[in-house]
Amino acid sequence: MKLVSPRHAIRRCISATTPGSYHEAMRIGVLTGGGDCPGLNAVIRAVVVGGIVHHGDEFVGILDGWHGLIENRTVSLDPDQCRSILTKGGTILGSSRTNPFATDNGAIRLLATVEALGLDAIVAIGGDDTLGAAERLHQQGLPVVGVPKTIDNDLSGTEVTFGFDTAVQIATEAIDRLQTTAESHHRIIVCEVMGRNVGWIAVHAGIAGGAAEILIPEVPFSLDEVCERLLRRHGGNQYFSTVVVAEGAHAIDEVSAATTWNSQGSATADQFGHLRLGGIGAFLAREIEQRTGYECRSTVLGHIQRGGSPTAFDRVLATRFGAAALAAVQDHEFGTMVALQAGAIVRIPLSAAVGRPKQVDPHLYEQVAALYLG
Ligand code: F6P
């Protein structure tokens, strides 16, 4: 089955943005997939309001990511639904980690739903998993444009994903608070942050919060060396420390965090093959206390980093991405993802963005963060 071109009767309307010119109005499906993050609603609002008010497009809201297209679960989407959602966390469309290629006849059912709903295009807002599926579906004929989201900031091809700035802000505020109580009690506090297999949140929040140690998946750590540095630091004039650790960090002699510190009880992987991470913070706190003799506590920030209202930066970035995705749809530039490069929003092939996580810039970690560590 090939869905190669919009199949609808063409409805023409006068564009409000360029008086006198004509645009082909389209029927567009919008979905949000993967872990939610602040700014999803801002993208939905930009796409829907821009499409309806300025181009006469029609929108269908697809519920819970790819799952909604497989099961044909949708809602109507118009400017009324988008009122007051700019500042709201989460996603009004719901989300899931459904992989059409790991679901019985998933891709076939999904493409049939697109046909049945009469959709000319899909705007898929997601991270590596959702957009990886979008790329494969595009190869099977799905007219899709991707928008990069994730607090982890691990999508290639874009300098930053929306959601990341908010997560860093939340983690930084938490570290600031941990510092004051660590100082009062002369303790070491380990703060575990999210990020899956990359350390972007840990490095940014660690630098911003003045952490003594920042441990990330990209650079496996030696527990002996971490403890030595803490002993040295406390042997000087410091009596407290915060250690920021990414949930995916692991020691030099361990292959991955998932095999070592998985305290969240997920023995099985999700449909994209990811194990649930978490637990390294508590492990480190125990080990550091035993090895150094200093009193140690741990805090896991977890989903607090993903919830709530987006920062101003994320609201603006999400709105820019939404406007750019709508323009890509109207230009029929399917199989692309909008991205931020050198301050500008560009279109890149989905294939250039997915499948190889963007790791922490070594310069940022080794030259900038390292200046103040230990
Ligand atoms: O990808 C975003 C993310 O928050 C990761 O940082 C984290 O490992 C994962 O999702 C948690 O997923 P869930 O919400 O399924 O627990």
Q: Which of 97, 276, 280, 305 to probe ligand 1 with, by most ligand atoms within 8 A of CB?
A: 276
Give whole-number Cα distances, 264 to 183, 197, 257, 258, 259, in Å.
30, 16, 12, 10, 12
152 is annotated as an active-site residue: yes
Residue type at 224 in one-letter notation: D
Q: What is the chain's pLDDT, residue by residue, as a tens digit (374 residues)?
A: 445 444 443 343 444 444 444 568 999 999 999 999 999 999 999 999 999 999 999 999 999 999 999 999 999 999 999 999 999 999 999 999 999 999 999 999 999 999 999 999 999 999 999 999 999 999 999 999 999 999 999 999 999 999 999 999 999 999 999 999 999 999 999 999 999 999 999 999 999 999 999 999 999 999 999 999 999 999 887 789 999 999 999 999 876 666 555 655 456 789 999 988 999 999 999 999 999 999 999 999 999 999 999 999 999 999 999 999 999 999 999 999 999 999 999 999 999 999 999 999 999 998 887 777 76
50 lines ligand 1 (CB under 6 A): no
194 lines ligand 1 (CB under 6 A): yes
Q: Is 36 left (phi over 0), alpha (psi -120 to 50) or beta?
A: beta
- From the list 128, 129, 152, 154, the catalytic residue is 152
217 lines ligand 1 (CB under 6 A): no
In sequence order, the 6+-apart residues with CB closer than 8 A to the CB of 267 are none
Q: What pTM value is reported for the model?
A: 0.93
Cβ atoms of residues 205 and 179 within 8 Å: no
Token pair for 80: 């009324």
126 lines ligand 1 (CB under 6 A): no
Q: Which atom of ligand 1 is nearest to the CA of 278?
A: 8
Q: Which atom of ligand 1 is nearest to the CA of 305?
A: 4
Handedness of CA 321, 324, 330, 334 (dihedral sign): negative
